[in-house]
Amino acid sequence: MNQARIVAAQRKAVTVRDYFVATLGLAPRDGTLAELPIGEGCGVDCKRAIDAAKAYLDVAGGVDLDVAGPLLESLNTAIEIFWRG
């Protein structure tokens, strides 16, 4: 997905799940993130974590499963902690 399409999809994102998919092109592990608004409370922290993961993947040269797999696992865990406490 090119950068302009990513940005457009991010602008339309209403929930953490929407933003995760728009930014990383993958669905998060926790389906209930479709209920968490991106712009309030822990949704803001989740957005920051997603952005940091995307920035790391961009610097690492894309989505190579050796790099992306552990990173995405850590991202999913962090988001679950933000969401569930």
Residue predicted with more confidence, 31 or 85 = 31
| Segment 4-58, tens digit of pLDDT | 888 888 889 999 999 999 999 889 999 999 999 999 899 999 999 999 999 988 8
Output the pLDDT for position 59: 84
Whether the predicted pLDDT of 1 surpasses 70: no
Closest Cα to residue 46, out of 9, 12, 84?
84
- What is the pLDDT confidence band of residue 63, given thresholds at 50, 70 and 90? low
Beta bridge partners of 37: 15
- Assess contact for 56 and 30: CB atoms under 8 A: no
Q: Which residue has the tokens 């940005």?
A: 7
Output the pLDDT for position 60: 76
Q: State both tokens at 13.
A: 């994102």
